[in-house]
Amino acid sequence: MERRNILKRLFEDELFLTKELDGKRIIVDAKDTFAYIDSDFKKFGLDKPGAHTSEISIKVDELIDDGTFMDIFESLPGTRKQKLLTQDQIIETCKTRPGLLQNDSATVFFTEKTWPKFLEWLRVALVACKILNPQVFVVSVSILGGGLSVGVSRLGSGLVWDAEGDYRVVSPQLPRRY
């Protein structure tokens, strides 16, 4: 199936780096970054630290055609894992690069539920056997009243995002071969 391109790259000539992070920061505890934090982060089990990450480049795209979260996710290049940022990387981006966030609309990031290290092998096996679907979540950040508001949704939400809304998507920058 051909991938539908509904995103357009912004800031093509700029390089945005996110430093190496230990993965310990989580959004539910980031009250110094977000004025409002959706209670669904806890409901979905997104209240656990993530993995250590190396320095990476991130990119910003703009939604140019209507689509669901799944349409947006599938239009990004790379494998499922290559499209994700940890919660720590999302917090870092919001703190250090607020200019990448859209003023009058939402900026979207994709993350996944973290499993404890000793159970990671079980998660991998269950996904491989198609007993468990990978749990990808959409983190949306909006600027409201001068502060940042952060919400979370399941990737499979059927909500259609209107391209007229000037939505942005922040994701890892992959090597040029993708």
Q: Where are the domains of the chain?
A: 7-172
pLDDT recorded at residue 132: 47
What are the pLDDT digits (tens) for 102-150?
A: 777 788 888 876 655 555 556 566 556 655 455 788 899 998 877 899 9
The residues near 45 (Cβ < 8 Å, ≥ 6 apart) are 113
What are the pLDDT digits (tens) for 143-178?
A: 887 789 999 988 887 778 888 888 999 999 987 654
The residues near 174 (Cβ < 8 Å, ≥ 6 apart) are 77, 78, 82
pLDDT bin (cut points 50, 70, 90) of residue 1 is very low
- pTM for this structure? 0.85
